[in-house]
Every structure is written in C-alpha cells, then in structure tokens.
Amino acid sequence: MKCPKCQFDNREGVKFCEKCGTSIELVCAKCGAKIPLDRQFCGECGHDLSRPEEAAPIDYNQPQSYTPKFLAEKILTTRSSIEGERKLVTVLFADVANYMSMSENLDPEEVHQIMDGCFKILMGEIHKYEGTINQFTGDGVMALFGAPVAHEDHAQRACHAALSIQKAVGEYEQKIKKDHGLDFKMRVGLNSGPVIVGAIGDDLRMDYTAVGDTTNLASRMEGMAGSGAVMVSTDTYKMARDFFVFESVGKVPIKGKEKPQEAYELIKASEVETRIEAAAARGLTKFVGRGQEMQVLKAAFEKAKSGSGQVVGIVGEAGVGKSRILLEVRNMLSGDENTYLEGRCLHYGGVMAYLPMLDILRLYFEIKEGEQELEIKKNMKEKILQLHEKLQNALSPFQDLLSLKIEDEAYLKLEPQQKRERTFEALRDLFVRASQHKPLVLAVEDLHWIDKTTEEFLDYLIGSLANARILLILLYRPEYNHLWGSKSYYTKIGVDQLSTPTSVELVQSILEGGDVVPELRELILNRTGGNPLFMEEFTHSLLENGTIQMKDDQYVLSRKTSEIDVPDTIQGIIAARIDRLEENLKRTMQVASVIGRDFAFRILQTITGMKEELKSHLINLQGLEFIYEKRLFPELEYIFKHILTQEVAYNSLLAKRRKEIHENIGKAIETIYAERLE
Ligand SMILES: Nc1ncnc2c1ncn2[C@@H]1O[C@H](COP(=O)(O)OP(=O)(O)O)[C@@H](O)[C@H]1O
Ligand SMILES: [Mg+2]
C-alpha cells in the first residue's frame, strides 16, 4: 500500500503509514467498514465508494450523525489513549436569546424548522474550529474545544467559533425576520479550565466530568451575555487576549463564588494572528544567540542571489525560536534590493487550500484590507505585465485564488485538475519571473499545519528552484515529514533550545528592570529547559500572579518553588503535542512521568510489563526529542528533555491512576533492587 502522503511503500494490511502515520484506510459511507484506500467497492456491503454519501437527516441526539468525518476519525483513532484524562479546555455555551417568545408566537413546526437551521449554523462553525459538540439543548448547544483531543489554542478556536456563530446567525436573522417577522439572536458564553474526559463510545458520545466550575462558569457567562454578544471569563480572556479585542464589563457576581469575577465581552478578532506577531506587538525581547543559524541563512541567501536557488528548513519544537529567526532574517534582508514574501499555515487552516499562498499573493500585489475589487484587479494586471506579458495567463488562476470575479470563460470551464495545474504554473512563473527582476525570499511558516494542495505545490516549486534566484525558507516542527530532504540545495537548520549562558541573557532581558536573584534565575532555567517561549510565558505568568516581586532593585521570589504551576498556555502546547503521539508512545511517557524526570529502563519495563517493544517506543520518543538517554552504565536511564513535558504528562493522569502506578513503582523497586536493599 503506497502512502498517499509520503509515498512510502507499506506492507499489505497496515492501517497507518509506517513512515509518517497517515491513515491509509477509507471508511465506507454506507456501513462504516474500513477499507484500503485503493479499492472501489466496499467489501462488506458492496457500496460504490466513488458515490457520494447520501445526506441522511441529522439526529441531534446522536453525535455520529452530526460529527464530520475528519473529526470523528481523529477522535476514534486516539480515543483509547485519551479516556480518563484531565484536559484543559474552553467550554462554549450558546442559546437563543428570545426562545420563549419565539415559541409562544409561532407554531411548533415553525420553531422546529428555525432551530434546525440554527443548529446547522452552530455545527458548521464549531466543527470548522474542531470543537466537539457535547449536547444540543432545546434552544442551543454546549461544545468543548480541546477535548477529547487537546489543542494548544483551544481558547482562540472557541473565540473564533463564537464570533463566526454570531456573524452567521446575524445573516440568518434577516431571513427569519422576513419569513416570520421575528428577532432571532443568540447569546454565547466561554470559559476555560480543566475537565476530565471519560469514556468515548463507538457512537462518539463522550462522557466528561467538570472539574470545579469549568462548565458552570461558561454557562454563567452565556447567561450574562447580551443578545447577539459573546461573554468570556477571565481565564479565557487571558489565553486569547493577544489575538482578539475584548471590552471589560467589570467585576460580576458569580453564584457559588465568594468574590466577584472579571468578565469580558469579545468584540472581534484583532489583526494579530500568530504568536510572533503578538510578541512583536507587545515588544520583543532582545535577540540572543543564534549566530550560527543566522550565518547559514545568510550564506543560503547569497547563493540564491547568485542564481542557485536554495531551500532552507528551520526545524524545531514549538516556542524554540523559529519565527524569531525568520523575523531577524527579514530585518537583515530588508531594503529595496530584494523581495521578501511570507505566508503562514494556521492550526485550523488545514482545510483551506492555498492558505499560505494567499498571504504571499496579497503581499506581492499589495492588496489592502477592504480594497475595491476593480482596483485590486487593475493593480494585479499592471504588476503582472511589468514582469512579462506572457504572465497574462496567470491572472485568472490568481483571481480564482483570491475569490475575485473571473471573466475568462475558458478558464471557468476547466476541470478541477486542469485548474490546479494552471494555478501551480501561474504561481511558479510569477516567482521565477519576479526573481529575475530581484532576488526573492519566500518564507512559509508552520508547515506542520499545511494544507495538502500547498504542500504539493511546494514540492512542485522546489523542483524548479535550482537555477532561480529564490531562497525558500520553510519553518516547521520536527513531527512534520516531507519529500525534499534529498535535494542538494536543501539545508536543514535544527533549532535547539538555548544554551545556559544564552538563556541567562534572555531571562535578564525579559526582566530588564532589575537584577534577577540566582534562585529565581535557576527556577526559570530549570523549568523551561532553554525554550524561549516557555521562558517568556513562565516569567510573565509569575510576574502577573505576584510570585516575582521587586525588592531593592532586585527581582525576587515570593513563594516556594514547589508551589508554582505550569502556566496554561505552555501546558496547552505540550499537551497537544503529547496527544498527537501514537497511543503506545503516549502511554509509555505517562507511566514514565510518574517515575520522575529521570527513569530507569528496568523499572519502566517491570511496571509496564513490556518487553522488546518498550525499547522501540523509547527510541521513537528519543527521535521525537521528548526524552534523552541519560546513561548506559551501571544501568540504562532516560531523562525527559523538558521537566515541563514530564509535569504535563503527569498532570494529565487522574489521581487514581497515578496512585496505582506509584504503587507499582514501589513494588518494582523492591523486586529489582532486592539484593541491594538487603
Ligand atoms: N533567540 C531569541 N532571543 C530572544 N527572544 C527569542 C529568541 N528566540 C525566540 N524568542 C522569543 O520567544 C518567543 C517564541 O519564539 P518563536 O520564534 O515564536 O517560536 P517558534 O516559532 O519556534 O514557535 C517569541 O516571543 C520570541 O520573540
Ligand atoms: Mg512560530
């Protein structure tokens, strides 16, 4: 079986690619049987697999009836490893503001019809951001973002979904007004906090237990929201504030809480979409280290400039500083002598074809927000003709990409495959032509979230780079696999955590107003393991909750280090990464986390009862840089690369399970070291 993603030739009968982990099965739309990708008919029921699924009416009590396939698959493939875990989520409640008066004034049939339309909007918007709907209430919905599968940006996703719901309902209201003469508005409330994910059934039904008042507070926020508005709690606000505009509504009393809590109205998405933009908007910390990485990039640019195209991968885990390096490259290359264009993939953008290419086109054609269509088209044409008249051909595909009106009848009649070819050619020709004019730097951020079409386009483009004055810079996390590694003009820059001296420099520049006492510096260094994002987030959260205080021009700690928790943002990033692991690896890591930051192979082997396969799991985890081999003698020991990874894995386990593992560790130590203990 050839893998559709990486083309690896797999053994017959495997369900996932053994090279890159992509699913190589189809699910029959009729009977749900799993079938290899290359088949035409279902072996179980004879269904013609090329025929689209007939739309069945939606049953709002049956999650498998309303959950889209891509989400259902994600949940089912990971479910056994997420059951019984503690997760950080954002809870969304939405309901119809004037449901009572609507049901009094209309007959039940009409109300049913209106609500059906409303539920479809809710489903569409929530699923778009990969939320899971837990329950349809009579007049609304409850959904979770970040469970069952963890998302590092659950709060952002929930905010996007809430705004999209209000927008779509606003349009729907116009129709209801026309048909029934009624106002139709929704209230939405959000709160973030922990929940425990219970069993997940074959039918996708997920049990969950609220921890503390995670869900109550979300429901309370919804109750307080005005018609057509979105209200969020302080916890959600803190996680999403960089990316959205909020208005504080002041402190509000909450049932069951002694002190009133701050609530915020979510107004709109801000211009800031990525973490590095948010950091830049707040003011960047001084750039430290990375001299070698910058050298490599500079050399690659010089080569490209002289006519031998280069591809550079900047590869490293979340927060290690990839985007920051790119930002410094952009500053280094700024000026009129070259063109710099950058596009980014978004976490929830995997379904939007050409997303990063759209950024790049908008930059190239200098398209501004809200600009008139005619103006855009005129400018595009001028710019294209300036490059070369042959590029005329590219106009229709570009208009298509940018959702502008296309006049070219012949283009409109093309089959999708032909349109795609035209688009690929158009983009490539634009880049190559532009680079003849001035050296071109193309950067694509966060390839681990790339859509399939852009991915294929990049492969195609890389094939034509060898003699172009183009430097293509690609940023991604280590878990992303690709095909171009073998090209002689490809260079990979592995971005590792900062060295200790560089980390010290960074901590001092984050806390620039005074000296950092050694105890505090050690705490930050130990907990964040040289990851600059973690250093910034951790330090800021300590400042915000008063753990770091200023005394006589010195930053000091006001609490015991053992009482300090991992901030939610970091926890989210790590939890999402752990959830993407294959189940065996994740389980191994969780059990190891109970032993401690360092763990001996023999103990792990005894408590898991695994034999040879444990070795291979650990080798895999090493490859992914979750753990390192600490020493071989006198016995094999491993260590978690980040103490935070160990903490997050440990925190995801329920107390009961931890206790069991602790007991088993005790027993294992007794048996293994019996002689020594005597
Ligand atoms: N070498 C560095 N010097 C100073 N700050 C850095 C450095 N590397 C990263 N940072 C900061 O750490 C944060 C995370 O870095 P970022 O580049 O966004 O990580 P990544 O893109 O790898 O996820 C940003 O705020 C960035 O400014
Ligand atoms: Mg980045």
**For ligand 1, what atom is nearest to the CA of residue 278?**
25
Query: What is the rounded distance in angstroms from the CA atom of residue 214 to the CA atom of residue 93?
Result: 12
Res. 176: pLDDT tops 60: yes
Distance 176 CA to ligand 2 centre (A): 43
Helix (H/G/I), strand (E/B), else coil: 54: coil
Nearest-ligand number for the alpha carbon of 345: 2
Contact 60, 139 (CB under 8 A): no
Res. 678: pLDDT tops 70: no
Q: Which residue has the higher pLDDT, 544 or 243?
A: 243
pLDDT of residue 350: 61
Nearest-ligand number for the alpha carbon of 314: 1
**Mean pLDDT value of segment 26-33:** 69
Q: Name the closest-CA residue to atom 15, ligand 1.
A: 321
Query: Which single residue is written with the structure tokens 């933009």?
Result: 277
Confidence of residue 102 (pLDDT cuts 50, 70, 90): confident
Query: What is the rounded distance in angstroms from the CA atom of residue 372 to the CA atom of residue 337?
Result: 30
Contact 543, 514 (CB under 8 A): no
Res. 31: pLDDT tops 70: no
Confidence of residue 32 (pLDDT cuts 50, 70, 90): low
Confidence of residue 52 (pLDDT cuts 50, 70, 90): low
- Tens of pLDDT, residue by residue over 485-513, are 778 899 999 999 999 999 999 999 999 88
Q: Name the closest-CA residue to atom 3, ligand 1.
A: 287
Query: What is the rounded distance in angstroms from the CA atom of residue 218 to the CA atom of residue 146?
Result: 15
pLDDT of residue 253: 83
Q: Is any ligand 1 atom within 6 A of the Cβ of residue 448?
A: no
Res. 405: pLDDT tops 70: yes
Q: Quick one: which of 271, 289, 297, 280 has its CA closest to 474?
A: 297
Q: Is any ligand 1 atom within 6 A of the Cβ of residue 344?
A: no
Q: Work out the burial of residue 525: count CB atoms within 10 Å of its CB; fewer than 13 is exposed, 13-18 middle, 19 or more buried.
A: middle
Task: List the alpha helices (DSSP H) in 473-595.
Answer: 500-510, 518-528, 532-544, 568-579, 583-595
Strand residue runs (E) in 271-417: 310-315, 339-344
Question: For helices 532-544 and 518-528, what crossing angle results, to 10°?
Answer: 130
**For ligand 1, what atom is nearest to the CA of residue 288?**
3
Q: Work out the burial of residue 181: count CB atoms within 10 Å of its CB; fewer than 13 is exposed, 13-18 middle, 19 or more buried.
A: exposed
The secondary element (H helix, E strand) that includes residue 417 is: helix 416-437
Contact 398, 425 (CB under 8 A): no
Query: What is the rounded distance in angstroms from the CA atom of residue 387 to the CA atom of residue 436?
Result: 9
Distance 346 CA to ligand 2 centre (A): 10
CA distances from 194 to 97, 102, 215, 474, 562 (A): 27, 35, 9, 35, 21
Classify residue 188 by its DSSP letter.
E
For a mutational test of ligand 1's pocket, the pick from 242, 274, 276, i.e. the residue with the most ligand atoms closer than 8 A to its C-beta, is 276
Query: What is the rounded distance in angstroms from the CA atom of residue 15 to the CA atom of residue 8?
Result: 13
Mean pLDDT over each residue of the chain, to the nearest integer = 87
Distance 535 CA to ligand 1 centre (A): 10
**For ligand 1, what atom is nearest to the CA of residue 506?**
4
Q: Is any ligand 1 atom within 6 A of the Cβ of residue 279?
A: yes
pLDDT of residue 166: 95
| Identity of the amino acid at 597 | R
Torsion sign across C-alpha atoms 40, 420, 409, 365: positive
- Tens of pLDDT, residue by residue over 567-621, are 888 888 888 888 888 888 898 999 999 999 999 999 999 988 888 889 999 998 9
Distance 282 CA to ligand 1 centre (A): 13
Res. 30: pLDDT tops 70: no
pLDDT of residue 207: 75
Q: Is any ligand 1 atom within 6 A of the Cβ of residue 507?
A: no
Contact 146, 129 (CB under 8 A): no
Cis? peptide before 634, omega within 30° of 0: yes
Q: Name the closest-CA residue to atom 4, ligand 1.
A: 287
**Mean pLDDT value of segment 510-519:** 88
**Mean pLDDT value of segment 3-18:** 74
Query: What is the rounded distance in angstroms from the CA atom of residue 219 to the CA atom of residue 189?
Result: 6
CA distances from 292 to 136, 197, 325, 485 (A): 55, 45, 11, 21
Query: Which single residue is written with the structure tokens 């990049």?
Result: 458
pLDDT of residue 632: 86
Confidence of residue 89 (pLDDT cuts 50, 70, 90): very high
Tokens at 355, concatenated = 């997303």
First to last CA, the chain: 56
Q: How many CB atoms lie within 10 A of CB 557?
A: 15
Nearest-ligand number for the alpha carbon of 315: 1
Q: Is any ligand 1 atom within 6 A of the Cβ of residue 60?
A: no
